[in-house]
Chain A
Amino acid sequence: MPLDKKPGVRGRTPSPDAAFDLWLQRGLHAMFDDVAKEPIPPELLALIDRDRKR
């Protein structure tokens, strides 16, 4: 879901707020997407697996 974007008007230059929102959204994705893509620590998976086999 996008940040609080103001409805843009076709053909007009984006407002500074909209430009900042876009930059912020990209920056946050760059920062947090890696975290989600990283492999899950094996000890965490092992913890779940041990409980599963219990």
Chain B
Amino acid sequence: MPPLDVATLPDADVSAVQSQECFHDMLVGCLPRLRQQAMALTRRRADADDLVQAAVTNALAAQASFIPGTNFKAWMARILRNRFLSDVRRRRETVEMDDAPQEAFSRPASQEASIAMDELRVNLARLPADQRIALMMSAVQGLSYDEMSAELGVAVGTLKCRVFRARKQLQAWLLGEAPVDAPAKAAKIDAGLGARAHVKVNRAATRGLHA
């Protein structure tokens, strides 16, 4: 198909072509942050790449539904998160979630900075996915709670709670302090794999105590 000659198009069509070009540029521009978010959700590089690719495919298919001038980053973040949640739901029915958190965020051994960083990686993987992404968006991407709320479609208060809980839980695990009391309801809402793996670990530990 030959490229469109914008000069020959009526004004309305020129505007449509320009916004379409802008759409693709915005999409490419937000890929780095999407990859961070995918990594925070999935915990594995290969899974994160697959998730971003699926989200991009969905976004391209749904580009007509994006309203120019609205928050493109938020639109993409919601597509990514929804895709992640639907993937998790689908996998729950067929796949055992007892994956080893040690492999999370894995890197070549030569790049490991310290034992403490290894511990952080392992324990970050144990957090529920929704806490992990909230913590990452706050601490790494530097988003305000209002921005996070727009991107994730979650209330500001809930996000504050998730970041607080994530930080406190990591502190408890890493410094050996009293664990944060995580109600079962929160574990249910936090649709992350980490929560399920952690519940499984706890159940295994309980069985060990009673054996």
Which residues of A line the B interface, CB within 8 A?
Answer: 1-4, 16-17, 20-21, 23-25, 27-33, 35-38, 40-41, 43-45, 47-49, 51-54
Contacts and interface: CB of A to CB of B under 8 A. Distances in A.
B24 interface: yes
Given A25-B139, A29-B139, A48-B56, A40 B167 contact: no
Interface in B86-128: 105, 113, 116-117, 120-121, 124
Interface residues of B, number: 47
Interface of chain A, helix or strand or loop or mixed? helix
A40 B31 contact: yes
A35 B100 CA distance: 21
29 contacts: A1-B143, A2-B139, A3-B138, A3-B163, A4-B160, A4-B164, A24-B167, A28-B120, A31-B120, A31-B121, A31-B124, A32-B39, A32-B136, A35-B39, A36-B32, A36-B33, A36-B35, A36-B36, A40-B32, A40-B35, A41-B53, A47-B56, A48-B28, A48-B56, A48-B60, A49-B24, A51-B24, A52-B20, A54-B1
A29 to B, nearest CB: 6
Interface of B: 1, 3, 20-21, 24, 27-28, 31-33, 35-36, 39-40, 45, 48-49, 52-53, 56-57, 60, 63, 105, 113, 116-117, 120-121, 124, 135-136, 138-140, 142-145, 160, 163-164, 167, 170-171, 174-175
B95 to A, nearest CB: 24
Given A4-B163, A28-B135, 16 more contacts: A1-B142, A3-B163, A21-B167, A24-B120, A24-B139, A32-B36, A35-B36, A36-B33, A38-B35, A40-B28, A44-B53, A47-B60, A48-B27, A49-B24, A52-B20, A52-B24
